[in-house]
Structure 1
Amino acid sequence: MTPPDLQRSRTARSRTGVADLVGLALRLGLAGVLGYAGWTKVVDLTGSVQNVLAYELFSYEIARAVGVLLPVLELALALLLLLGLLTRASATVTAVLMVVFVAGIASAWARGLSIDCGCFGTGGPVAPEDTTYLTEMLRDLGFLAMALWLAVRPRSLYSLDSRLQKGS
């Protein structure tokens, strides 16, 4: 290998290493957020159902199913992202979930509802001056960006995906 080729190879490996580190940080960040959100809901399923009902989008039966299944999904995604297992699929599902969350918050805002999003276990009606729709939507758009990075580039440090790939 000629010296310029060697330098390009080192630079490419360095960029790949940084991108793998970014992937790890994003994976762990999303795992932490989803794990916390799921846990706060799963320990209070009644509250979780009430949070879904506050959006006034679904009948009680559907809101109940969403309120019970959402925290389970969040915890499953958190575990998969933490382990780096099925990262692309987990990140894609997480991205879809974030789009749904942003749409739900936007819908509540557009319809003049005064609710807390319920994203982290608390939720339901609040005083109109206590709504934080824009902040909640921007936060979830940030999580969406993180998930999209991982959906496009799922490779990261310390992932089971990379270990399994090496084994095959």
Structure 2
Amino acid sequence: MSMFKDIITNRFTVLVCRILIGALFIYASISKIFHPVSFAATFINYNVAPEFIAPLVAVFIPWFEFVFGCMLVLGFRTQTAALGIALLLMGFLVGIGINLARGVQMDCGCFEFFGWRENLDIFTFLRDIVFIALTIPPLISEKHFLAVDVLFRNEGR
């Protein structure tokens, strides 16, 4: 177990996971930020929450994705950002899982920037599990490399 923990808390592992997940969430947020009506419609199609909250979801979720993504890339409040992204992903997994169980055929609404559209399927579900796994190294690591956090603590130098 110690060797596994050493690998996932290695500063380079943490850095790669931080930048990969952070950049991915920045990318995912862009289209949603600029097209909130489209994102609200996608949210409504998931049919997992009351329609009246769709405008709030369409405005706030993309900005959470963007801010947490930037925080991870910069290494600012890294554990908070990793936790925020993990929680978002868990929420996405619930919506995806419910709709897969229902047999619903629909657009995921995950990454629509540059016209990339994908259908909701088991791959989407498994991919989000992998994304959650990639939040674990920055979430559990106490030391961060090439991170703004280092400026506020005497670590990682």
- In 1, Cα distance between equivalents of 2:112 and 2:55: 15
TM-score (norm 1): 0.79
Out of 45, 58, 64, the position equivalent to 1:73 is: 64
**Aligned sequence identity (%):** 25
| Consecutive unaligned residues in structure 1, runs of 5 or more | 1-14
Q: Which residue of 1 is the match for residue 103 of structure 2?
A: 112
Q: Which residue of 2 is the match for residue 152 of structure 1?
A: 140
Any idea what SS the aligned residue of 2:38 has? Answer: helix
Q: Which aligned segments of 4 or more residues in structure 1 are displaced greater than 4 angstroms?
A: none
- In 1, Cα distance between equivalents of 2:31 and 2:142: 27
Deviations 1:32-62 (A, max 9, x none): 1100010121111111111101101222221
Question: Is 1:138 matched up with 2:117?
Answer: no
Out of 27, 31, 39, the position equivalent to 1:40 is: 31
- In 2, Cα distance between equivalents of 1:36 and 1:154: 27
- In 2, Cα distance between equivalents of 1:44 and 1:154: 37
1:155, CA displacement in angstroms? Answer: 2.7
Specify whether residues 82 and 131 from structure 1 end up closer, same or farther in structure 2 by C-alpha distance, changes over 3 A only: closer
Deviations 1:7-27 (A, max 9, x none): xxxxxxxx68x8101111111
Out of 149, 152, 156, the position equivalent to 1:164 is: 152
Specify whether residues 51 and 138 from structure 1 end up closer, same or farther in structure 2 by C-alpha distance, changes over 3 A only: same
Question: Is 1:90 matched up with 2:77?
Answer: no
| Consecutive unaligned residues in structure 2, runs of 5 or more | 1-5
Any idea what SS the aligned residue of 1:26 has? Answer: helix
Specify whether residues 99 and 154 from structure 1 end up closer, same or farther in structure 2 by C-alpha distance, changes over 3 A only: farther
CA root-mean-square deviation: 2.1
Q: Which residue of 2 is the match for residue 7 of structure 1?
A: none
- In 1, Cα distance between equivalents of 2:144 and 2:106: 37
Question: Is 1:21 matched up with 2:12?
Answer: yes
